[in-house]
A and B are shown apart, each in its own frame.
Chain A
Amino acid sequence: MTDQAKTQIDERKSAMRILSLMSAEVLEQKYDSFDQKPDWTFARKPETGLVMTRGRIGGGGAPFNLGELTVPRAAVTLETGETGHAYCHGRNQRKAAIAAFFDAAFQSAALKSRVEAEVLAPCAKDLEASDLKAKQEAAATKVDFFTMTRGDD
């Protein structure tokens, strides 16, 4: 794989990550407010299935099957030819369809910067803020140990 191809995949993966982590409601709003949407058709109609999640023995060893995860998936092709895919945990097929639309738009030279500015950047910021809040709340429960001084002078 060329470096350029790898960079493209990494970029797309990080966009798909944000789309999968966004709530269905927020994604719906972003879709509604995305002006001049190109026409699109389903390359793969939304369907819900399962992905078996895996852990590792001891945390870092050989893999084992932990349990399944509900995952709807969809693929969308824009009138301009780009096809986007989405897999996102839950059972909300409409969320998967919209995420697939944005994944397609992200690959369109004409729309990519708008998807970044209007959808991905604000949501990435919200997700970071909520992760930070969770970390800071956990940090407030961190134990500070005191060494007790013994009573003898």
Chain B
Amino acid sequence: MYVAVKGGEKAIKNAHKLFAAKRRGNANVPGLTTAQIVEQLSFVVDRVMGEGSLFDRELAAIAIRQAQGDLIEAIFLIRAYRTTLPRFGYSTPIQTDEMLISRRISATFKDLPGGQILGPTFDYSHRLIDFGYDSEEAAEAPEQSELIEASTPRVTDMLGDQGMMEPDPQSAEGEEVGDLTRAPLDFPADRDLRLQNLARGDEGFLLALGYSTQRGYARTHPFAGEIRMGEVEVEFFAEELGFEVPLGKISVTECQMINQFQGSEEAPPQFTRGYGLVFGHAERKAMSMALVDRALRWEELGEELTAPAQDQEFVLSHSDNIQATGFVEHLKLPHYVDFQAELDLIRTMSEEFWAERNDEPTTKMGAAE
């Protein structure tokens, strides 16, 4: 129960002023530009875009700076901002098979058509702090190689051609695509809504859940079939023009996790998969998303419900860090009347407790009043 409390305006004003000064920090240190954040802290920008569910690098950078690098606060700012804009419509689905690939790896096939392309990655680095790094020094120009193979088919399609992989689920004629920004989530949720929820879900939460499936809580025997990262073009059907208008490019990370499946009455033994797709360069999140997507499919694949990562109500209700932080942080709001009521109740019960024993508490009751 919340009770309107008046007062504190001056304290709030001064607290915000103090916060603004803290944000700027030492005035002798040059101020941070949003271009520096976009160019040099691309992973935080991508994370805020993904979990804010809004692709706009510059906006994400503004939010990160305003939030002093508190990413959940920055995501909150992005989510609030998007509510101020009109929705023009839905894009035609992006074609990740036509991606301009900057990274593409498979842990299932060594020699796959198109090759293993490491791209820009932390992998294989020694994780030693580089004390000698000079941020003012220009980076060495990246190497360039001639292109040999142009085609980079999806690993899952290659397995699909051999009948070893379950096909992509197609939608029925005229079926609406669920949108949780338009209607509240209802259970059980179909896979389209689950993927939308996971795509904007908290990376830490999904990472922990994905990890739990690997440790035996809903074991799914995952292989990283393919991870690809790069740019895709986006098109949108404009009513007034009557055709799909190109909007520009976005970067995304896609993960196809391959999992075992014994087969059932209807389906032959084949591989199944979990799917991850996230804005920006967000490999850990895309992998976690794919693990959790697969775990959530237990019922469809005739598996047993044994673990938290399979429980869609548990997963989907707690994946959104803005909802989560809202409810956790609301505990800071005044609960004075609530608490007084509890205090009175406990005091009465405590008095009864001592009265029954004809005894006195060792500490004096009400000393704090």
A62 touches B175 (CB 8 A): yes
Chain B residue with minimal CB distance to A127?
B249
Once bound together, how far apart are the Cα atoms of A90 and B85, in whole Å? 13
A87 touches B238 (CB 8 A): yes
B247 touches A67 (CB 8 A): no
A45 within 8 A of partner (CB):
no
Give chain B interface residues in 170-185, CB to chain A under 8 Å.
170-171, 175, 177-181
B238 touches A85 (CB 8 A): yes
Give chain A interface residues in 52-67, CB to chain B under 8 Å.
52-67
Question: In the complex, what residues of A have CB within 8 A of residue B157's CB?
Answer: 59-60
Q: How far is the CB of A119 from chain B (nearest CB, A)?
A: 15
Once bound together, how far apart are the Cα atoms of A16 and B169, in whole Å? 33
B88 touches A50 (CB 8 A): yes
A150 within 8 A of partner (CB):
no
Once A53-B55, A68-B53, A140-B143 are accepted as A-B contacts, the answer to whether A73 and B91 lie under 8 Å apart by CB is no
Once A54-B177, A59-B154, A85-B241 are accepted as A-B contacts, the answer to whether A17 and B246 lie under 8 Å apart by CB is yes
A126 within 8 A of partner (CB):
no
B82 within 8 A of partner (CB):
yes
Once A91-B58, A138-B119, A141-B117 are accepted as A-B contacts, the answer to whether A59 and B147 lie under 8 Å apart by CB is no
Can you list, as one digit per residue, whether each of B179-206 has a CB less than 8 Å from chain A (1) or not (0)? 1110000000001110110011000000
B195 touches A57 (CB 8 A): yes
Once bound together, how far apart are the Cα atoms of A60 and B101, in whole Å? 17
B349 within 8 A of partner (CB):
no
Once bound together, how far apart are the Cα atoms of A48 and B85, in whole Å? 7
A108 within 8 A of partner (CB):
no
A55 touches B110 (CB 8 A): no
Once A57-B192, A69-B234, A85-B245 are accepted as A-B contacts, the answer to whether A62 and B170 lie under 8 Å apart by CB is yes
Once bound together, how far apart are the Cα atoms of A9 and B243, in whole Å? 8
Can you list, as one digit per residue, whether each of A81-113 has a CB less than 8 Å from chain B (1) or not (0)? 000010111110000000000000000000000
Give chain A interface residues in 97-153, CB to chain B under 8 Å.
131, 133-143, 145
A140 touches B142 (CB 8 A): yes
Among A55, A61, A70, A142: residue with most chain B CB under 10 A: A55
B53 touches A67 (CB 8 A): yes
A62 touches B54 (CB 8 A): no
The prevalent SS among residues of B at the interface is mixed
Question: In the complex, what residues of B have CB within 8 A of residue A56's CB?
Answer: 93-94, 96, 168
Chain A residue with minimal CB distance to B157?
A60
B115 touches A90 (CB 8 A): no
B195 touches A52 (CB 8 A): no
A21 touches B245 (CB 8 A): no
B304 within 8 A of partner (CB):
no
B250 within 8 A of partner (CB):
yes
B211 within 8 A of partner (CB):
no
Q: How far is the CB of A89 from chain B (nearest CB, A)?
A: 4
Q: How far is the CB of A92 from chain B (nearest CB, A)?
A: 9
Question: In the complex, what residues of B have CB within 8 A of residue A52's CB?
Answer: 87, 89-91, 179, 181
Once bound together, how far apart are the Cα atoms of A89 and B254, in whole Å? 21
Once bound together, how far apart are the Cα atoms of A143 and B54, in whole Å? 34
B213-221, B273-281, B333-341 - interface stretch: B273-281
Give chain A interface residues in 21-50, CB to chain B under 8 Å.
21, 47-50
Question: In the complex, what residues of B have CB within 8 A of residue A67's CB?
Answer: 49-50, 53-55, 199-200, 279
Chain A residue with minimal CB distance to B192?
A64
B366 within 8 A of partner (CB):
no
Once bound together, how far apart are the Cα atoms of A64 and B293, in whole Å? 13
B24 within 8 A of partner (CB):
no
A54 touches B86 (CB 8 A): no
A78 within 8 A of partner (CB):
no
Q: How far is the CB of B312 from chain A (nearest CB, A)?
A: 15
A59 touches B156 (CB 8 A): yes
Give chain B interface residues in 105-145, CB to chain A under 8 Å.
110-111, 115-120, 142-145
B288 within 8 A of partner (CB):
no
B318 within 8 A of partner (CB):
no
Chain B residue with minimal CB distance to A14?
B246
A138 touches B117 (CB 8 A): yes
Question: In the complex, what residues of A have CB within 8 A of residue B195's CB?
Answer: 55, 57, 64
Question: In the complex, what residues of A have CB within 8 A of residue B111's CB?
Answer: 145
10 cross-chain pairs, A with B, having the tightest CB-CB distances, nearest first: A61-B168, A62-B171, A89-B248, A58-B168, A136-B144, A64-B192, A140-B143, A17-B246, A139-B145, A67-B53
Contacts A/B (CB < 8 Å), 8 sampled = A52-B90, A59-B97, A59-B154, A66-B199, A66-B277, A68-B82, A69-B250, A140-B145
